[in-house]
Structure 1
Amino acid sequence: MSTPTTPVSLDRFLTPAHRALWEAVDDFATQEIRPRVERMERAPHRVDRKIARLLATRRWFGVTVPATFGGMNAGHVAKTILIHRLALVSGAAAALLQASLIPVAALLHYGTKDQHHTLLPAVADASVLMSIAVTEPDQGGHIGGMTTAAEWDGRAWVLTGVKAHVGNSHLADTHVVIARTARADTRTSKALTAFLVKSGQRGVILAPHGRKLGLRGFSFGQISFDRVRVSPNNVLGEIGQGFDVAQFSSILYGRANLTALCLGLHETAVSLTAQYVSKRPRYKGKLADLSVIRDRLGEMSARLLMAKILAYHAVDMLDRGLSCDDELIAAKTLGHELAAQTGNDAMHLHAANGLDENHPIQRVWRDMQTTYAPAGTGEVQRRRLAENLLEEETGTDLRTPWSVLHAGRAQPPIPDEAVSV
């Protein structure tokens, strides 16, 4: 009897289409991405542009875009499969894809009919790659402290400020930029606005790509905006709705995407370690023969299983329109914590060899460090879970969960002429 390609533990979350996608991504990653990994590792100062072109051939940038615009309309479980399975081979390739899908979420749910008609087909065929620029150098995740501002001059919005850690900063054609459009004493929830800004506009200044600890080949850099003029037609959502655009995209897409990225790295760390201890000589046998090693490896396997089930459970709930904010939060924060523990164990079991760049475990460990802060640090996630729990216990009026708002939002309007897939 043949072993199923997809794990039985995820069987309840996967349709036949999901399983076919799983196999297709695994094959693509092995054939197309794996040969580029070593090249990216040797050139940490360079952005790899070939991977985006390779992904474009599969139209995976349009995984959440409706079929009428040329997309896959495949949902969050499918999106998780794409990122998870790419990350198994390359964290950088998975990061490139996941970072592009967050601004697409903003466009899908807050864009106008004209914006959908113009941009969604281009996103689906990857002729336009998007980024989202929220974080600032001195503010980090403190969105209320944002200093990037846009002022109305009677004809256009004039945008000035600096954004940092922008995923796909050096590849994106269009940036979703969140800026302050109200006075400093205005509530954050009403003070910000989202704008669509083209990378080639006058005043858009991209800082040179600098090497990072992990995700070599992927760009997540700094962009400055020096009095960039933005047409009112390029406001995304309504004036004062930028906080919602940023939160919606981060909570429902960013957290799930980073969970999937971390899961792929986690799985690779377990696999590499099992292979290593099974082959490493020790006494008259192998390192894996020692009970202390098996104890550590068993714990790593259990962590991976927990992370995997929680990740797919959360996005399955999102696909089914269920309230799942807490599940998404837990999947992100626990996914990273469990992977980080496994990554440390993997490095310990590789001992000094794990420090050698010839061993891939050090690449996986470095890439893991990049999944902690984006979309909210562990402290932020746990605080939100505690607040939700206390609100339930005290009977406080609960805000509508973002996942419920997501389920209730209208789908993008169908264009006059459907785009063929």
Structure 2
Amino acid sequence: MAGYRITESYEDLRKQVRAFAAEIVRPLVPIMERDREVRHDLAKAIARQGWTSATVDPEYEGLGLGHYAKTVILEELARENGAAAAIAQAGIIPTGALVHFGTDEQKNTWLPAIAAGDCLPAIDVTEPGTGGDVLAMRSRGERVDERTYVLNGRKVCVGNSHVATLHLVVVRTAEGSGGLTAFLVEADRPGISCPAHVPFLGLNGFSCGEVALTDCRVPVANRVGEEGDGLLVAHAASILYGRPNLAALSLGLQQAAWEGVAERVKDERLRVHQTIQQRIGDIHRRLITSRVVLYDAVNRLDNGLACDEELIAAKLEVVKAAETTTREALNVHGAREGLFVDHPAERRFRDAHCIEFPAGTSDFQRYRLSLEALGRRNRPLSERFATPRQRAEVPA
């Protein structure tokens, strides 16, 4: 694995990611904001660090550091730039699905490649007009013989859509909740394509676009789990990886916003202003609360404890806190800085808003929490998929 070597200390890890972000990411930010194009070079640089294998066991050449360390990585990348963290987190989600649902052959083929940076994966679930309703998907997978499926359909809001070398695609193979199935589809396989990248509100440099499947033939060996396991694969990936990943990204944006505000109020006129003091107090409170909520949740996950509710709550609380904090930071900076597109405060505000939607909006998180609170749930996914290898061995 090239790049900054991971050590056995969380603080050393934090410093190493921070050094990478300053050296590699920071010079690209003005270019990404200006051009609003997919940064293939940044995606490759992040992949080469091996960070998408943070929760992959060393048996498959992964880092084996656990979810706590993964959170440190994503927070520090987002502290520098939201798009860089988005690239990493989008690759971690399908990697986690492979860890839990992949066959031995799939793991031996793809996990070492991910760890080495030779493969950057994406997960393709959402479809036009369906939003977070996974069961409403219309993409189809038809088994045409003993060895082959043919996939057809459209996926949207696919993180790493244009830079991924491997797609974990969920399609419908039968009716009902047990009719979804997941497949691995190589990006160069005939029948899979990506329309032109369309920039959106924030996270400039990150690709989150459309993927089209047109008579795409995949072997049965590329099926992840059994036929009908697709809903479970999608839900486990979202709850165990997607939601805490996005919370980590939001936490990094909050940290950067706080640091920007602290620098701004070195101006004595602002420092003594009561309204500004109150804003600063609220920004700092939200940052502390977000950090406690998120790191407690991923620590529970690393230790095999049931924590679905905590992971869902972390995504809800930290994302909303980041939206509020980055908006408040604009008010502290004022029109001189906060209203211009080349200022970091404005960029963080846009980036934070983009994190509201993936892995379920805040309204959806509230709905899921209501089901958990009312006891309408199966065995928690966090407990069901916990393994000794999943537990972090890096000292705090």
Q: Secondary structure at the match of 1:286?
A: helix
Post-superposition shift, 1:407? Answer: 1.1
Structure 1 residues 296 and 410: CA distance shift in structure 2, 3 A: closer
Give matches, 1:127-142, under 5 Å.
Answer: 127-142=118-133
- Residue aligning to 1:150: 141
**Within 2, Cα distance between the matches of 1:107 and 1:85?**
25
1:400 matched to 2:391? no
1:93 matched to 2:84? yes
Structure 1 residues 410 and 50: CA distance shift in structure 2, 3 A: closer
Post-superposition shift, 1:57? Answer: 3.6
The match for 1:352 among 328, 335, 338 is 335
**Within 1, Cα distance between the matches of 2:47 and 2:344?**
27
**Within 2, Cα distance between the matches of 1:18 and 1:327?**
22
**Cα deviation per residue 1:48-91 (whole Å; 9 max; x = unaligned)?**
12222322342222211111221101000000000000000010
Max radius of gyration: which structure?
A: 1
**Within 1, Cα distance between the matches of 2:17 and 2:196?**
32
1:334 matched to 2:317? yes
**Within 1, Cα distance between the matches of 2:139 and 2:127?**
8
Say whether the 8 Å CA contact 2:309–2:369 is kept in structure 1. yes
Say whether the 8 Å CA contact 1:106–1:249 is kept in structure 2. yes
The match for 2:296 among 286, 310, 313 is 313
**Cα deviation per residue 1:297-353 (whole Å; 9 max; x = unaligned)?**
111100110001111110000001101111111110010111111122111222223
Structure 2 unaligned residues grouped into runs of 5+: 1-6, 391-396
Letter in 2 for 1:326: E
**Cα deviation per residue 1:163-185 (whole Å; 9 max; x = unaligned)?**
001000111111000000003xx
Post-superposition shift, 1:278? Answer: 2.1
**Within 2, Cα distance between the matches of 1:130 and 1:341?**
31
Letter in 2 for 1:146: M
- Residue aligning to 1:71: 62
Post-superposition shift, 1:120? Answer: 0.9
- Residue aligning to 1:12: none
The match for 1:224 among 198, 212, 215 is 212
- Residue aligning to 1:376: 360
**Within 2, Cα distance between the matches of 1:371 and 1:255?**
10
Q: Normalized against structure 2, the TM-score is what?
A: 0.93
**Within 2, Cα distance between the matches of 1:164 and 1:345?**
31
**Within 2, Cα distance between the matches of 1:121 and 1:218?**
24
**Within 2, Cα distance between the matches of 1:261 and 1:345?**
18
**Within 2, Cα distance between the matches of 1:27 and 1:201?**
36
- Residue aligning to 1:324: 307
**Within 1, Cα distance between the matches of 2:307 and 2:384?**
11
**Cα deviation per residue 1:242-278 (whole Å; 9 max; x = unaligned)?**
0000000000000010000000011111211221232
1:297 matched to 2:280? yes
Q: Secondary structure at the match of 2:94?
A: helix
- Residue aligning to 1:81: 72
Please say which of residues 339-348 and 213-222 is displaced more in the overlay. Answer: 339-348
Q: Give the alignment's Cα RMSD to 1 decimal.
A: 1.5
Say whether the 8 Å CA contact 1:109–1:409 is kept in structure 2. no
**Cα deviation per residue 1:29-63 (whole Å; 9 max; x = unaligned)?**
1122111111111111x111222232234222221
Q: Secondary structure at the match of 1:302?
A: helix
**Within 1, Cα distance between the matches of 2:119 and 2:49?**
14
- Residue aligning to 2:4: none
The match for 2:351 among 355, 358, 367 is 367
**Count of matched residue pairs:** 382
Give matches, 1:147-186, under 5 Å.
Answer: 147-154=138-145, 155-183=147-175, 186=176
**Within 1, Cα distance between the matches of 2:48 and 2:132?**
34
